[in-house]
A and B are shown apart, each in its own frame.
Chain A
Amino acid sequence: AQTVTQSQPEMSVQEAETVTLSCTYDTSENNYYLFWYKQPPSRQMILVIRQEAYKQQNATENRFSVNFQKAAKSFSLKISDSQLGDTAMYFCAFMKHLAPGNTPLVFGKGTRLSVIA
Chain B
Amino acid sequence: EAGVTQSPTHLIKTRGQQATLRCSPISGHTSVYWYQQALGLGLQFLLWYDEGEERNRGNFPPRFSGRQFPNYSSELNVNALELEDSALYLCASSARDALEKLFFGSGTQLSVL
A residues lining the B interface (CB < 8 Å): 33, 37, 42-47, 50, 91, 95, 98, 100-110
Contacts and interface: CB of A to CB of B under 8 A. Distances in A.
Interface stretch (B13-21, B62-70, B76-84, B100-108): B100-108
B90 interface: yes
B43 interface: yes
A13 to B, nearest CB: 22
B42 to A, nearest CB: 4
Nearest to B106: A44
Most buried by B among A33, A104, A108: A104
Main secondary structure of the interface of B (DSSP, over half): strand
Contacts, number: 55
Given A103-B45, A104-B45, A43 B107 contact: yes
B88 A43 contact: yes
Contact of A107 (B42, B56, B100, B103): B42
Contacts of A102: 56
Contact of B45 (A37, A105, A109): A105
A93 to B, nearest CB: 8
A100 B54 CA distance: 8
